Chains A and B, each alone.
Chain A
Amino acid sequence: MTLPANAPHDVIVADGLNAAIVCFPTIDQYYALVEAFKNDGYEMVADLCGVDYLEHMNRALPDGVVATRFEVVVNLLSLSKKSRVRIRLQAGNEEPSVPTLFDLYPGTEALEREAFDMFGILFENHPDLTRILMPEDWEGHPLRKDFSMGRVPVQFKETPAPR
């Protein structure tokens, strides 16, 4: 499969498991790419989530993609074509900030709030970027890899290693 006609032409693409195509746009290309897919018949954002690649900064990516610590992964679904497309956006290292998809797909509202809550990824112009799962006074973003797990102390065990 190739990119839709009016997508930014220099988006890096690759094959993926269980997806017609995996796209690696830059932050500038991101919104235009999703918009092109929407016009091409991808009616729904099935899933949007963040990933923290703190421990894998030099992971395998197609040539030309600049790996960053945070990724935003969007899974688009086309009901008319029965196909899935995955977009892996390199979101940045410190203070990741990407455009929101709310204007294109209002259904991403809660998913983007979750990604913000869990990873601290900012979505510009999101209408209501607040925590969604964690309490309001929570400090930090729990799914980041440098967020401590905490542990339950076990009596009579000498090694204090996390389980």
Chain B
Amino acid sequence: MTDTVRTTDRADILAAETSEGNQELKRRQETSKAELGREAGAVLRIDGLTLDPEQVDYERRDDETMIINMGPSHPSTHGVLRLMLELDGEFVLRTKPVIGYLHTGMEKTGEQLSYVQGPTNVTRMDYLSPITNELVFALAVEQLVGIEVPERAIWIRMMMNELNRISSHLVWMATNGMDLGSTSMMIYGLRERELILAFYEKTAGLRMNLNYVRPGGVAADLPDGWQDDIEVICDTIYARTFEYDQLLTGQPIFRERMLGVASITAEEALALGVTGPLLRSTGVAWDLRRTMPYLAYDQVDFDVIVGTYGDNFDRYSIRLNEIRESIRIVRQCLEKMPSGDYRTQDPKVTPPPRQRIGESMEALIHHFKLFTEGFHVPEGEVYVGVESPRGEIGCYIVSDGGPKPYRMHVRAPSFVNLQAIPLLMRGGSISDAITVISTVDPVMGEVDR
């Protein structure tokens, strides 16, 4: 008797301690009709069906449904994503993502770090595509300062960025396979990614969170014999993408769980601000590499892969084929890689070579100033967006003329894409919910920053 009382007490205390209050999904009784309609996606049809949120049919009683938590520590939530699901039996009625469990205040930290130190901070946001994070930060700073980056640095950046896209999509293929029960895909995806990480280590010294792309260029030149490494990477991964095809694309169980599941229309995707493979799966050919080219993407040949139905399978095929397209770009980089400097020689942003420090007082001063104070960036503000494997990653920097950003904001693609989850999950079963989390591909480090 006393035991039961104690356990209920403990449950109450636990519930109070872990509660996120108003951020949580509320019970049906406590939710207004307009709010229910909003959560069911009625507002997304403002242009099409003109569905008034008040008129959404929701005749379910509170005792027929159940609210459960999926996450924050659930293996298929890819990190610490917490979803509150309202279920009717096996089917999902409403979903609300509760996020912030990985929030580390990186934007606030970014205001304390100089522009030289900045890339170390941003690279940790989307830990699966560190190069893209550094790239967008570096591009924003370069626009504010007005630095010309040497041709070779541009092509190195582009090549590393595409390798990054491949490795990120490979991890996605791996975890997606894992979520759908194909553990062999998990092993294969991570195995192939290892090739790229090994190349990163050879080039930048680190496997992840490279701090390789910096304002003014890149941190180090490509290592000797990099051409051979790249060729091995391209050939191996390209051949293996066809093995993935065999393993997954035609496999009946996989197709059953992907085809026609959780589809989204182009209007809905645009209204929600969704970008990346999620947007392209609806047929909108929007890829910043093609539509608003940066680096030298206008000088290489590649196809923008688009889907038709906006379902899980389209998102899968887009990512698989983007691996092949990225390999195409990397091969062209290999062919066209210009010679020259790998970083700008402007002494204001680039430290002098080691030898000069011993010889020249100015070089010593520049070196000292750069690593203690950092370089000053003219007053101004800029927003730069580039295509990350997950969508448009943007960096908004406000400079007040000092050596540190006055405000550094990162538009994280996963953060915005997460808003599509309630819409994609509605009406599906819990097993579909797993595939939705997987194909939306949120990286929580970037969502919470």
Contacts and interface: CB of A to CB of B under 8 A. Distances in A.
Contact of B100 (A75, A134, A143): A134
A130 interface: yes
Given A46-B273, A105-B271, A142-B105, A136 B21 contact: yes
B383 A19 contact: yes
B103 A134 contact: yes
A105 B273 CA distance: 8
A130 B34 CA distance: 17
A17 B380 contact: yes
Given A106-B272, A132-B100, A47 B409 contact: yes
B115 to A, nearest CB: 16
Contact of B143 (A18, A60, A110, A135): A18
Contact of A132 (B43, B99, B384): B99
A47 B271 contact: no
Candidate in B44, B103, B379 with the most chain A CB atoms within 10 angstroms: B103
Interface stretch (A5-13, A26-34, A50-58, A89-97): A50-58
Contacts of A108: 273
Contacts of A56: 400, 406
A154 interface: no
Nearest to A110: B419
Interface in A15-64: 16-19, 43-47, 49, 51-52, 55-56, 59-60
A131 to B, nearest CB: 6
A130 B23 contact: yes
Main secondary structure of the interface of A (DSSP, over half): loop
Nearest to B32: A127
B392 interface: yes
A121 B424 CA distance: 30
Contacts of B385: 46-47, 75, 77, 84
B273 A127 contact: no
Interface size of B as a range: 35 or more
B411 A127 contact: no
Interface in B382-402: 382-385, 392, 394, 396, 398, 400
Contacts, number: 126
B112 A52 contact: no
Interface string B398-435: 10100000110101000110110000000000000000
A79 B44 CA distance: 19
A149 B383 contact: no
Contact of B383 (A86, A105, A127): A86
A82 interface: yes
A111 B108 contact: no
Contact of A46 (B34, B144, B284, B392): B392
A49 B409 contact: yes
Contacts of B416: 107, 110-111
Contacts of B291: 79, 82
Contact of B107 (A59, A84, A134, A143): A143
Nearest to B291: A82
Interface string A79-122: 10010101000000000000000110111111100100010000
A111 to B, nearest CB: 7
Interface in B27-81: 34-35, 38, 43-44, 46
A142 B108 contact: yes
Contacts of A110: 415-416, 418-419
Interface residues of A, number: 48
B112 A149 contact: yes
Nearest to B419: A110
Contacts of A79: 270, 284, 286, 291
A60 B392 CA distance: 30
A22 to B, nearest CB: 9
A133 B20 CA distance: 11
A3 B409 CA distance: 26
A86 B35 CA distance: 30
A46 B288 CA distance: 12
Given A18-B383, A51-B407, A106-B43, A149 B108 contact: yes
A18 B384 contact: yes
A107 B407 CA distance: 23
A115 B310 CA distance: 30
Interface in B182-224: none
A89 to B, nearest CB: 13
Q: 9 closest A-B pairs (Cβ-Cβ)? A: A107-B273, A136-B21, A47-B411, A133-B100, A17-B382, A107-B272, A49-B409, A130-B22, A133-B103
20 contacts: A17-B144, A44-B270, A46-B394, A51-B409, A55-B400, A59-B379, A79-B270, A105-B273, A106-B44, A106-B271, A107-B416, A111-B415, A128-B35, A130-B22, A131-B22, A132-B23, A136-B22, A143-B108, A143-B407, A149-B112
